Structure 1
Amino acid sequence: MNFKKISFVLATSALTFTTATNAVLGPIPIYLNTEYRTDSPVIGSIASTIKLNKEQIQASGANTFTELLATIQGVAFEGGAGNLTSLRIRGNKPAHTLLLVDGSKVSITATQPNFDVVPLDQIERIEISKGPFTSLYGPGAIGGVVHVFTNRETEEGESTTLNASYGTHNSKKISISSSINNNGNYVNYSLSKYKTDGIDSRSDNIGGNEEDSDSIDRTSGSLNIGYVFSKDANIKFNILKTDATINYDKGSISDVLKPDNNLLQYNFELNQVISDTHTIKLDYAEQKTQRRTDKYKLITKSFINEFNTANNKLTLGFVDVVDKDIDNNAQIKHTDIFSQWQGVIANNELSIGARVVDHDQFKKHSTFNLNWAKSLNEVTRLTASHGKATNLPSHYQNKLNVLNGYGDVKPEQAISSEIGTEFLTDSGTIIAKIYNTKVSNAFKYTEPDSYSDANSDGFDDTAYYEMV
């Protein structure tokens, strides 16, 4: 069976966005605590990226992360209260969108991300990168990546903020955040409570749905600590916890509602400068999620080396990922080796990366990304990229594969290409890009093997401008 999707996106924003020509490094904007890499960018952005900062998030008027996603142009948002929310990037299925919080994957392997567990009040900024980024972030990033950064490093001094709101359907929210920052050493915490009765959209009484109000009751908190040992060494530690009861619309068959949407995540990060051109980063992240009483645990360990010169950056890294299905005493494990070179040659901005994924049940496979950009003048800029991304079987699919002896099943694979033009004007930026994605070995949920191909072609036309 073959599927072909053609999409067209025209997005215009009246917010003050950072233009694509501001200094950021390589195929994605790169910040500390991103698996890739640094806070000292040197060349221009190549990838199609939507960025929202704290001020823009607050100005949106959204009460939850899913409400905010519904307002973002250029992506296809589905769902809302009473439904499992999903985000489609460039026509790809929701499971091909990877959700990261402070560099750690929140998506359960090969399933669509659970955006309901992310507390909006504790988000510092959001980046949505379109395109194949498996070589950067690991398996799952076929359509793109939604990267959430929580409140971490703050401005120098002390501050405390208290917010409260009330709305229809008995919706109410209260949050408090406080921070202390002294010479790079910081402690900040946030607490929030959101509750709503929701809306009863079912009146047919099918399957016992006579009362089907889609209520939400979410309590969340975060703690971030950073300490600077010297100009060459620092550590960071953060905890994010969300306990939520979210009632979804039931189907036509009566069943027991299982509304849990819980998350507990903590990260420990060590950064050390070895020399003027060499830095290392050690990171340990552990995450526990509960989805409708199903429990999962994700452990990620990474070691990253970064080598810098005036116009070049080379990154070499290792990551070990163990994704456990607690209830079924099963796990998915893979060990990755990755690299990324980024630099400038004859005024051409280049980025080349690759990753080898060694899965514990299936064969090794590799992914790559090739990116190019060139500014023709102060107004016009050309970009192009080509890459391969993959997606691993889910816990359910992995079990079927093993039980049926399909040890040679390949991961889902996608080959994506795009070309684009950017125009910088006095009031903003206009970006136009044409893209194509071909997915092979697509998984079928009810079968143990790969079964299909899917193609997606599209055109993005995005305008960012400032309102005075």
Structure 2
Amino acid sequence: MSKVVVTPAAILLCAVSPFSLAAEALPLAPLLVTASRTPQTAEQSLAAVTLIDRAEIERKQATSVPELLRGVPGVSLANNGGPGKTTSLFLRGSESDHVLVLIDGIKVGSATSGSAAFQDLPVELIERIEIVRGPRSSLYGSEAIGGVIQIFTRKDAGAGLRPFLSAGTGSHASHSGSAGLSGRAGSSWFNFGVSASDTDGINVKPRSASGYEDDRDGYRNLSASLRAGHRFANGLELDGNLLQAKSHNDYDQVNTRRTAGFGANADGVQKVAGLRARFAPLDPWQVTLQAGRAEDKSDADQDGAFYSRFDTRRDSLSWQNDVSLAAGHTLVLGVDHQHDEVNGSTAYAEDSRDNDGYFAQYLGGSGRHDWQLALRRDDNQQFGDHETGSVAYGYALSDELRAYASYGSAFKAPTFNELYYPGYGNPALDAETSRSLELGLQGQPAWGHWQLAAFRTRVDDLIAYDSRLEAPNNVDQARIRGVEASLGSQWLGWDWNANLTLQEPESRADGASDGNELPRRARQILNLDIDRAFGRFSAGASLHAEGQRYDDLANQRELSGFATLDLRGEYRLDEQWRLQARVTNLLDADYQTAAGFNQPGQAVYFTVRYQAL
């Protein structure tokens, strides 16, 4: 695979906001922006990064974002019962709220729970996903302890009007469909899409579980997205994005006295909107301004009556300046503002807070050497000032082999639930902080690509439930260390891609839990994908395996390890129409990733796709 060199001048010409990827037509080596807030190829990045593009989404025939993400190195998921159910993502053994999530550059997630609703995001309306493993608070502020996941909605840069559509059906009375239209005329472009899915689901709780309904717990989703932009003659670029996902989710609520808890369901709304302006006042100076709003809403009913409402909103502003100092040297300066607000049926002692962040980054390179230095200061209305920083250095041992080392600090502000939820919150909490070290090797030989990374993270003031206070408290420390290995090649006519994660996510708190494994995180994770084309027909398989884990910090409830095997096939009727079939969990493995919640068994799905040329 040939390497692509991106000069600072080229970077500035296509520079984008740190919170956006509205790059023009992608080059042969796609550019990623999340790791450094500026465009780089994966080979140039001084971090462990993964890109999932539209071609891979369709090749794997994934029906949800969690399905896509579970194949990424270092990712472990805990799901409460199948499609649409609450899904927690643990990246490199960190907590589920230690991962910053962006959609089209806008920070998303619930200000009350601290996590993003991955299960509600419409996979058919996604163009690409970038995953950065390792701390990025020095660029993004709070939450980026374990890493950053950035999701970009569809954008087709092709000329003229290009419609697309898909329709699918399968097990558990599952049905799905999507349609959209993209267009470009001169310097203007747009992409609009809608997506819908409906499934009867499975019985979330085991039939033997006392006090739960013996029924299927269904899920449905209706989503729409819009992206559009225009480039003026003077070089000014304006674009905007909008994504809304509405969901209805049935679930089981405990009912030990048979007097309450039946008919439990929730209606959710995820909404993200953003506007961006980009221009160059001077040749070496690129300015990006972006404003956005993300909303997370949920209304729950139980026993045929209203139960609760949560409505959180996050407004953000960003001003970034990319300055080319000289060939191979770029300075990035910027300011972020964020306002979080909580509404709903639950009264919180505090229901809003502001955070202002100021950051600087220096990207440099000379000969075989590359480096990245970043420093950030966050002024949080509730938790005062937090300084974070990172340094990374890379050295090309040869044209095909590079080594790198990085160090970074990060922090995570407590959520509104941890601070103020009535009868539970603790307003005296401090922010969680971390320090991480990573060493890596990556190779691009003629036969494929490979990467090896070793990491170690220490988290201080980790928030956990304190039985003495009967509330959350900064009682824990955690030490996470591990190794990730990935390999891709072609052998016997098949495309092979594999990754293995070995990690030790352990508590380092005083007391009985010292040395115990952090809950719901597997120590061993293996993924293997193989694919091959036979003319118009293509076939593939995915193996996913995880070792045992514990459901609780006391390590009393053990969850067994498991392995699932998926098969897929595709037939191209012509350049525009495709027929797809997929079998998931072929061997009907019986397993749980969260104690007491079933996972789907063997299932079959069929899809037809159309994409105009």
- Residue 316 (structure 1) aligns with: 333
- 1:384 match: secondary structure: strand
Residue segments in structure 1 that go unaligned for 5+ positions in a row = 1-17
* Deviation of the 1:205 alpha carbon: 6.1
Shifted more, 103-112 versus 40-49: the winner is: 40-49
Q: Distance in 2 between matches of 1:233 and 1:379?
A: 39
Give the corresponding residue for 2:501: none
Structure-2 residue corresponding to 1:57? 57
Counterpart for residue 371 of structure 1: 392
Instruction: Tell me by how many angstroms 1:249 deviates.
Output: 4.1
Superposition deviation, residue 173 in structure 1: 0.6
Letter of the 1:32 counterpart: V
Q: For the Cα contact (< 8 Å) 1:24–1:45, is it kept in 2? A: no
Q: In the aligned structure 1, how far is the partner of 2:161 from the partner of 2:56? A: 23
- The answer to whether the 8 Å contact 1:163/1:174 transfers is yes
Q: Give the distance between the partners of 1:282 and 1:251, measured in 2 at CA.
A: 48
3-state SS of paired residue (1:460): strand
SS in 1 for 2:417: helix
Query: SS at 1:111's partner residue?
Result: coil
- Equivalent position of 2:210 in the other structure: 206
Where 1:140 maps in the other structure, the secondary structure is coil
Query: What is the match of residue 248 of structure 2?
Result: 245
Distance 1:376 1:161 in 2: 45
Matched, 1:150 2:153: yes
Partner of 1:451: 475
> Matched residue of 1:95: which SS?
coil
8 Å contact from structure 1 (residues 77, 85) kept in 2 = yes
Identity %: 25
The more displaced of 287-296 and 54-63 is 287-296
The amino acid of 2:50's aligned partner reads I
1:267 aligned residue: 274
Give SS of 1:59's match: helix
Q: Larger radius of gyration, structure 1 or 2?
A: 2
Q: 1:284 to 1:137 in 2, by over 3 A?
A: same
- The residue matched to 1:215 in structure 2 has which SS? strand
| 1:183, distance to aligned residue in structure 2 (A) | 3.2
8 Å CA contact 2:98–2:147 kept in 1: the answer is yes
Deviation at 1:379, TM superposition (A): 2.1
Matched, 1:418 2:433: no
Q: Which residue of 1 aligns with 2:198?
A: 195
> Whose RCO is larger (CA < 8 A, sep 6+)?
1
**Partners of 1:307 and 1:71 in 2: how far apart?**
37
C-alpha displacement at 1:116, in angstroms? 1.8
How far residue 163 of structure 1 moved from its aligned partner, in angstroms, is 0.8
Taking structure 1 as reference, are residues 443 and 403 closer, same or farther at Cα in structure 2, changes over 3 Å only? closer
Q: Which amino acid aligns with 1:215?
A: G
SS of residue paired to 2:202: coil
Tell me the CA shift for residue 434 of structure 1.
0.9
Aligned to 2:109: 107
In structure 2, C-alpha distance between the alignment counterparts of 1:295 and 1:412, rounded to whole Å: 25
Any conservation in 1 of the 2:294–2:313 contact (CA below 8 Å)?
yes
Q: Deviations over 1:336-370 (max 9, x none)?
A: 11111101145310000111111111221111111
Q: Structure 1 CA distance, aligned partners of 2:197 and 2:175?
A: 6
TM normalised by structure 1 equals 0.88
Q: Find the counterpart in structure 2 of residue 432 from structure 1.
A: 452
- The 1:238–1:345 alpha-carbon spacing in structure 2 relative to 1, beyond 3 Å, is same
The answer (yes or no) to whether the contact 1:76–1:88 under 8 Å persists in 2 is yes
Offset at 1:65? 1.5
Distance 1:339 1:426 in 2: 37
Residue 42 of structure 1 deviates from its aligned partner by 11
The secondary structure found in structure 2 opposite 1:194 is strand
Say yes or no: does 1:32 pair with 2:16: yes
Report the Cα distance in structure 2 between the residues aligned to 1:462 and 1:421, rounded to whole angstroms.
11
Q: Distance in 2 between matches of 1:63 and 1:404?
A: 39
Q: What secondary structure sits across from 2:116 in the alignment?
A: coil
Flag the 1:37–1:141 CA change in 2: closer, same or farther, 3 A.
Answer: closer
Q: 1:361-400 to 2 correspondence within 5 Å? A: 361-399=382-420
Q: Which amino acid aligns with 1:34?
A: P
Query: Runs of 5+ in structure 2 lacking a partner?
Result: 9-13, 20-35, 300-308, 496-531, 533-613
Q: Does 1:278 align with 2:285?
A: yes
For residue 136 of structure 1, give the secondary structure of its aligned residue in structure 2: helix
Q: 1:66 deviation in Å?
A: 2.2
- For 1:23 and 1:125, how far apart are their aligned partners in 2? 22
* 1:25 Cα deviation from its structure 2 partner: 9.3
Matches within 5 A, 1:320-339: 320-327=337-344, 328=347, 330-339=351-360
1:35-91: CA deviation from partner (whole Å, max 9, x where unpaired): 364447798111111111100001111112222223445421221336411211111
- Alignment check: 8 A CA contact 1:95 1:112 kept: yes
Kindly indicate whether residue 319 of structure 2 is the aligned counterpart of residue 299 of structure 1. no
For structure 1, which segment, 303-312 or 246-255, has the greater mean C-alpha deviation from structure 2 after superposition?
Answer: 246-255
Contact 2:391 2:408 in 1 (8 A): yes
CA shift at 1:394, angstroms? Answer: 0.2
Alignment partner, residue 465 of structure 1: 489
CA displacement at 1:113 relative to structure 2: 2.2
Give SS of 1:364's match.
strand
Matched residue SS, 2:420: helix
Task: Tell me how far apart the structure 2 counterparts of residues 41 and 375 of structure 1 sit (CA, whole Å).
Answer: 15
User: Given that residues 273 and 294 in structure 2 are in contact (C-alpha distance below 8 angstroms), is that contact kept between their aligned partners in structure 1?
Assistant: yes
Aligned AA (1:168): S
Change (3 A) 1:138 1:153: farther
Q: CA deviation at 1:31?
A: 6.7
Distance across 1 between alignment mates of 2:489 and 2:249: 37
Q: Give CA-to-partner distance per residue, 1:427-452, whole Å, 9 cap, x none.
A: 21111111100000111256354221
* SS, match of residue 142 in structure 1: coil
